């Protein structure tokens, strides 16, 4: 099993969710996060005084998936979240040892 | 003149609204979310304490006009009409109107010292300051004192002569360019120099936290300002006869129109400066331009024709837009630009009367550009300088007294924590926890507080 983590533009979140649902992903964890990469922040001006806003708002999606589905899911996220402009975000995959469903105690693939 | 009486009740009420909630909203939106309640409370507090002080000795100290009441043209006897003793209830409406002016002048100062002043010190400062600075200046300008055209030993009378009970060159301050705006602006500057900058001024971001509040406040200030300016009509005859009615019917329209077009011009000018300098016209620029224009036309709304009003508004909008940047250059933390808007705008309006005052306006005086010579300009400039000097000395005296006794500042630690919680035990916004009503409140609450500390 793998943990797929994606950091994407907030306005792309609905598209990504729909695409993943169509593929068959039944659950995920989503959080509103801030950060910066090559995009950097922006500048705001109030009464002539400039303020550098370093952090850019993003959406972070975390999904635990079967090894077999990993490439498809990464592909769906990458394709759907892409605008081609700077600041589209990142997707990364990490290995997972064990997953347990809290309600039933099911393990690994049965718990997804 | 019963229509006039009813109008004055409305005007006084409109000016009251300018402090609460208009100014409280205007300033509150510009402050940080951790200090918005304190910012608004400084306006609410000023209203409550000045209203009471005003009926006790404020009215008497400004306007009692019995024999021997005037002290050297500087202030009137505070005890003659103490508690409105001997004031005819038929005149209460004028007390009410003038009371609201004293209230907003004190409240205006609060923007300069945002985020860092002990609330109790502010509440002691306000009654002392109106007593030493506001009531004397109101007496000087409007109560027949040193800056009034009615005083034969007044400034203008000494310079250019006095005849038929009036200075030959009449100093003009229709609704308080000197008494209200220069006075509040100078007081703000003196206090800022006395108590120092906020922690992290010029390094940490100190952005306005809610510009929608500021926009609402600016709109309400404009609305209330019609009471402020139009209600400041003074009758030539004053006997309620035909001439007074004719004056009322013509002059109020002029002051309303001048107030509106000067303010419009100022908003456009401020936005234009921003567009040229920063590339974008901002909502805060529009709100600030509105106030700058209102400030500048305050002394001049009865002195100028429509072209003069547009010129004063445009000059005030552009100059104030540039002036608000000076605090970064000189390193004084006039937090919400009381100096840049009220002092600069007040001076622009008061001095430009000397240039663009029109004989066709209610004031009836031609300024320098209208062929009236330099004398009106000299009188306007000197009047502004006297107001600046008086306010500076009075504010310094009260400010030093508070500094030596109660102390001005909250501790550095408290300032970093946020003055709302420290001084009032409250937070303005509870968006993260929804007032504790939502099931996810525990998680969101702890996340928010960690974020705020970081």
User: What is the C-alpha separation between B390 and B178, in angstroms, rounded?
Assistant: 11
- Chain B: residue whose CA lies nearest to A49: B325
pLDDT at B205: 84
**Average pLDDT rounded to a whole number, residues B67-96:** 95
CB pairs under 8 A between A and B: 28
- Contact call for A47 and B277, based on CB within 8 A: no
- Contact call for B282 and A51, based on CB within 8 A: no
**Average pLDDT rounded to a whole number, residues A13-35:** 94
Res. B134 pLDDT band, cuts 50 70 90: very high
CA B353 to each of CA B177, B230, B269, B314: distance values in angstroms, whole numbers, following the listed order: 11, 17, 19, 14
pLDDT at B433 over 90: no
Res. B438 pLDDT band, cuts 50 70 90: very low
CA B421 to each of CA B37, B414, B415, B440: distance values in angstroms, whole numbers, following the listed order: 9, 9, 10, 23
| Candidate from A44, A49, A51 with C-beta closest to B328 | A49
Q: What DSSP character marks residue B232? A: T
Res. B49 pLDDT band, cuts 50 70 90: very high
Q: How far is it between the farthest Cα atoms of chain B? A: 78
- Contact call for B278 and A46, based on CB within 8 A: no
pLDDT at A54: 86
Chain B residues contacting A, CB < 8 Å? 205, 207-208, 274, 277-278, 280, 282, 284-285, 288, 321-322, 324-325, 328, 337, 340
CA of A7 vs chain B CAs: smallest distance (Å) = 20
Q: In degrees rounded to 5, what are phi and psi of residue B374?
A: -90, -10
pLDDT at A41: 82
- Contact call for B337 and A47, based on CB within 8 A: yes
> What's the distance, Cα to Cα, between the start and end of chain B in Å?
63
- Contact call for A48 and B284, based on CB within 8 A: no
Does a structural domain hold residue B423? Answer: no
- Chain B: residue whose CA lies nearest to A51: B205
Three-state DSSP at B409 gives strand
| Candidate from A44, A45, A47 with C-beta closest to B288 | A47
Closest to B51 in 3D by CA, of B94, B103, B8: B103
User: B-chain residues within 8 Å CB-CB of A51?
Assistant: 205, 207
Average pLDDT, whole number, for chain B?
94
pLDDT (tens digit, 9 = 90+) per residue, A3-13? Answer: 999 999 999 99
Q: How far is it between the farthest Cα atoms of chain A? A: 60
pLDDT at B326: 94
User: What is the C-alpha separation between A90 and B317, in angstroms, rounded?
Assistant: 46
User: What is the C-alpha separation between B304 and B433, in angstroms, rounded?
Assistant: 54
- Contact call for A47 and B280, based on CB within 8 A: no
pLDDT at B8 over 70: yes
Q: Where are the domains of chain A?
A: 2-111
Res. A111 pLDDT band, cuts 50 70 90: confident
Res. A40 pLDDT band, cuts 50 70 90: confident
Least-confidence region, from A83-87, B253-257, B259-263, B392-396: A83-87
CA of A52 vs chain B CAs: smallest distance (Å) = 8
pLDDT at B33: 95
Res. B448 pLDDT band, cuts 50 70 90: very low
CA of B291 vs chain A CAs: smallest distance (Å) = 13
Does a structural domain hold residue B78? Answer: yes
- Contact call for A48 and B278, based on CB within 8 A: yes
User: A-chain residues within 8 Å CB-CB of B328?
Assistant: 49
Among residues of chain B, what percentage have pLDDT more than 90? 92
CA of B217 vs chain A CAs: smallest distance (Å) = 17
Res. B5 pLDDT band, cuts 50 70 90: very high
pLDDT (tens digit, 9 = 90+) per residue, B397-406? Answer: 999 999 999 9
pLDDT (tens digit, 9 = 90+) per residue, B325-347? Answer: 999 999 999 999 999 999 999 99
| Candidate from B208, B277, B321 with C-beta closest to A46 | B208
- Contact call for A48 and B208, based on CB within 8 A: no
- Contact call for B207 and A45, based on CB within 8 A: no
Res. B434 pLDDT band, cuts 50 70 90: low
Query: Which residues fall within 8 angstroms of residue B291, CB to CB, at 6 or more apart?
Result: B26, B218, B221, B341, B345
User: The CATH number of the domain where B107 resides is what?
Assistant: 1.10.3430.10
pLDDT (tens digit, 9 = 90+) per residue, A42-56? Answer: 889 999 888 888 889
- Contact call for A48 and B321, based on CB within 8 A: yes
Does a structural domain hold residue B427? Answer: no
Interface test with B, best of A48, A50, A54 (most B CBs within 10 A): A48
pLDDT at A42: 87
Q: What is the dihedral of CA B440, B442, B446, B447, to 10 degrees?
A: -10
- Contact call for B325 and A45, based on CB within 8 A: no
User: A-chain residues within 8 Å CB-CB of B280?
Assistant: 45
- Contact call for B325 and A47, based on CB within 8 A: yes
- Chain B: residue whose CA lies nearest to A54: B205
- Contact call for B277 and A48, based on CB within 8 A: yes
pLDDT at A52: 85
CA B345 to each of CA B105, B316, B448: distance values in angstroms, whole numbers, following the listed order: 14, 6, 40
pLDDT (tens digit, 9 = 90+) per residue, B264-283? Answer: 999 999 999 999 999 999 99
pLDDT at B333: 97
Three-state DSSP at B15 gives helix
User: B-chain residues within 8 Å CB-CB of A33?
Assistant: none
CA of B308 vs chain A CAs: smallest distance (Å) = 26
Pairing of strands A89-95, B75-76: unpaired
- Chain A: residue whose CA lies nearest to B208: A46
Interface test with A, best of B111, B205, B214, B338 (most A CBs within 10 A): B205
User: B-chain residues within 8 Å CB-CB of A49?
Assistant: 325, 328
Q: Quickly name the fold that domain A2-111 has.
A: Alpha-Beta Plaits (3.30.70)
pLDDT at B203: 86
pLDDT (tens digit, 9 = 90+) per residue, B189-232? Answer: 999 999 999 999 988 889 999 999 999 999 999 999 999 999 99
């Amino acid at each position: 099993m793998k943990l797929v983590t994606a950091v994407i533009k907030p306005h792309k979140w609905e598209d990504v969710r729909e695409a993943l649902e169509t593929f068959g992903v039944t659950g995920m964890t989503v959080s509103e996060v801030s950060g910066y990469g090559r995009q950097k922040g922006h500048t705001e001006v109030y009464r002539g005084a400039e303020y550098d806003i370093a952090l850019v708002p993003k959406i972070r999606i975390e999904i635990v998936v079967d090894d077999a589905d990993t490439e498809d899911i990464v592909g769906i996220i990458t394709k759907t979240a892409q605008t081609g402009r700077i600041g589209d975000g990142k997707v990364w995959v990490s290995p997972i040892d064990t997953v347990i469903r809290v309600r039933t105690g099911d393990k690994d693939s049965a718990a997804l | 003149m019963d229509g006039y009486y009813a109008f004055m009740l409305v005007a006084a009420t409109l000016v009251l609204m300018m402090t609460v909630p208009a100014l409280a909203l205007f300033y509150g939106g510009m402050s940080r979310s951790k200090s918005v309640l304190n910012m608004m409370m400084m306006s609410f507090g000023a209203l409550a304490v000045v209203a009471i002080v005003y009926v006790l000795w404020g009215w008497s100290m400004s306007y009692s006009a019995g024999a021997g009441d005037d002290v050297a043209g500087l202030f009137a006897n505070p005890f003659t009409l103490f508690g409105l003793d001997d004031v005819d209830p038929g005149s209460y409406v004028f007390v009410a109107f003038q009371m609201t002016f004293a209230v907003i002048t004190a409240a205006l100062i609060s923007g300069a010292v945002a985020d860092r002043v002990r609330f109790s010190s502010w509440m002691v400062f306000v009654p002392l300051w109106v007593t030493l600075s506001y009531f004397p200046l109101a007496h000087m300008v409007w109560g027949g004192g040193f800056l009034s055209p009615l005083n034969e030993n007044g400034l203008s009378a000494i310079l250019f002569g006095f005849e038929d009970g009036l200075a030959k060159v009449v100093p003009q301050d229709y609704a308080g360019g000197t008494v209200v705006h220069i006075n509040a602006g100078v007081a703000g500057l003196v206090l800022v120099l006395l108590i120092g900058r906020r922690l992290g001024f010029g390094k940490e971001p100190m952005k306005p936290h809610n510009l929608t509040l500021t926009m609402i406040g600016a709109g309400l200030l404009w609305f209330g300002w019609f009471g402020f300016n139009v209600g400041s009509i003074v009758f030539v005859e004053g006997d309620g006869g035909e001439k007074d009615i004719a004056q009322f019917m013509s002059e109020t329209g002029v002051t309303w129109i001048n107030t509106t077009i000067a303010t419009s011009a100022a908003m456009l000018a401020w936005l234009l400066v921003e567009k040229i300098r920063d590339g974008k016209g901002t909502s805060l620029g529009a709100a600030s331009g509105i106030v700058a224009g209102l400030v500048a036309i305050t002394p001049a709304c009865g002195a100028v024709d429509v072209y003069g009003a547009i010129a004063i508004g445009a000059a005030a909008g552009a100059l104030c837009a540039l002036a608000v940047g000076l605090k970064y250059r000189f390193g004084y933390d006039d937090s919400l630009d009381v100096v840049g808007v009220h002092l600069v705008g007040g001076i622009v309006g008061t001095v430009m009367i000397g240039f663009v005052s029109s004989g066709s306006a209610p004031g009836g005086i031609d300024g320098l550009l209208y062929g009236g010579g330099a004398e009106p300009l000299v009188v306007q400039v000197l009047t502004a300088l006297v107001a600046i000097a008086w306010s500076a000395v009075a504010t310094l005296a009260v400010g030093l007294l508070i500094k030596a006794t109660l102390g001005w500042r909250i501790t550095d630690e408290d300032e970093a924590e946020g003055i709302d919680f420290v001084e009032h035990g409250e937070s303005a916004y509870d968006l993260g926890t929804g007032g504790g009503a939502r099931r996810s409140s525990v998680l969101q609450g702890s996340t928010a507080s960690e974020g705020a500390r970081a």
